[in-house]
Structures are given as structure tokens and as C-alpha cells.
Amino acid sequence: MNRLMVLTGKETSALFSSPIAYAVMAVFLLLLGYSFSITLFVSKNATLVHVFFQAAMLLVLIVPIITMRQFSEERRSGTLELLLTGPAHEIEVVLAKWLACMAVITLMTGLTFGYAIVLAIYGDPDWGPVYSGYAGLLLLGGALVSIGLALSALTTNQVVAAVVSLGVFGLLWGIDGLAAFATGRTENWILGLSLLGRFTPFATGALYLSDLGFFLVVTLLGMFLCVRALARR
């Protein structure tokens, strides 16, 4: 546990000492702030549903930038071997990097809670969808980070890691479009893999254990694959 805390602190400090984290957060907040302001003045509805969907889409685009260099850069520079030959185990290294990336995502999404405060001041929002929407964003972010880390662990080129991650995320986000060409169980199976389909209930305030379980399973699967990739280095 002490090793994990030390590694997490080191990885978090490394992320926040990089301009990438601040650039990503600035773009995320700028785009969401613009969307929130325009929608609020136009629709005059005390809701954040549109913000949650846009934030989820931005996570699909932004997470590859956060995770692309976590392992690929260390492989290229040779520091990964040094890290893994120390007392730390592969799972501890993966968890530390996952927690560090999640610190950025949590801070980034947490700063948007100011929008909910604005709605509370000038309106009467339904807080159920607000809380579930933020929970959905964190679950989605955790799943994306774990997949991104696994892909980063497979290559020494961070650009390749980012491009492949973006492709995988985009496919999983819009895979429900393929369901139109399938029938029966195949259609249900495809729809069950859709990140958009799994996130939608959270954004609208309808919580299902199946959706919660999906994000947790994807997160654990990504971590497992990442550990295996490091073990086969």
C-alpha cells in the first residue's frame, strides 16, 4: 500500500507538471462552458443533460492524449524496465498510473460542477440526473483510461498509442450503429458494447446495475490486459 501511494504521488506529480494536463483541462472546460452558456440562454432549461453528453464525447477524444505516453514513453526511454525491476509489482504500477490519470479527469469534471451551482441559483434543477451524470462521467473515464493504458503498454510510440486508442474508443462509442445490420442476440450483444448506450441512462438519471457493471468490468479488463502486456515485456 505504501508503494502504491508513493507511485501514485509520483505519477500524479508527473502528469500535473506537464503542460498536457493543463491544456487538456483548459480545452475541456472552455468547450463545455461555451455549450452550457449558449444552451442555457437559448433553452432556459435547468438541466445538464446536454453538458454530460458533450463531456462524455470529449472524454473519448481527450483520454487518448492523457494515456498515450504513460507506458509508451517509458518503454522508449528505457525507464519502464528500471521501474519494473524495482520492488513495485506490475499491478501497482498500473494502478498508480490509472489513479494519476483519474485525478486529472476527476478534477476536470469536478470543475464543471459550477454549472450545477449556477442552475441552482437561477432555477430548480433535478439533482438526481446531476449526480448520476457525474457518476457516469467518472465511470466512463475510468473505463477509457484502463483501455488507453493497455494500448499504451503495447507500443513504444505514443502517437500510435493515441491513434489506436482513439479508434477503439470511437468504435465502442458508435458501435450501436452496427446493430441496424444485425438481428436477435447479435443485435443485443452489439448494443451492450456501446459506450453511448451504457452512458445514456446515467446522463438522464436512470441508473441500472447492468450499466454500472459494464463500466467496472471494462475497467478491470483493461487493467488486466495492461498488467499482462507489462508482464510479457
Q: Give whole-number Cα distances, 122 to 36, 84, 119, in Å.
A: 14, 53, 5
Q: What is the mean pLDDT of residues 125-150?
A: 92
pLDDT, one tens digit per residue, over 75-124 is: 776 666 666 666 667 888 889 899 999 999 999 999 999 888 888 887 77
How large a percentage of the chain has pLDDT more than 90? 40
Q: Are 179 and 187 in contact (CB under 8 A)?
A: yes
Measured distance CA(38)–CA(81) in Å, rounded: 49
Question: Which one of 42-51, 169-178, 184-193 scores highest in mean pLDDT?
Answer: 169-178
pLDDT, one tens digit per residue, over 23-70 is: 999 999 999 988 888 877 777 666 788 889 999 999 999 999 999 888
Measured distance CA(30)–CA(37) in Å, rounded: 11
Kindly list the domain boundaries of the chain, sorted by start residue: 2-231
Average pLDDT, the chain: 85
This prediction has a pTM of: 0.90
Closest CA to 67 of 178, 147, 7, 182: 147
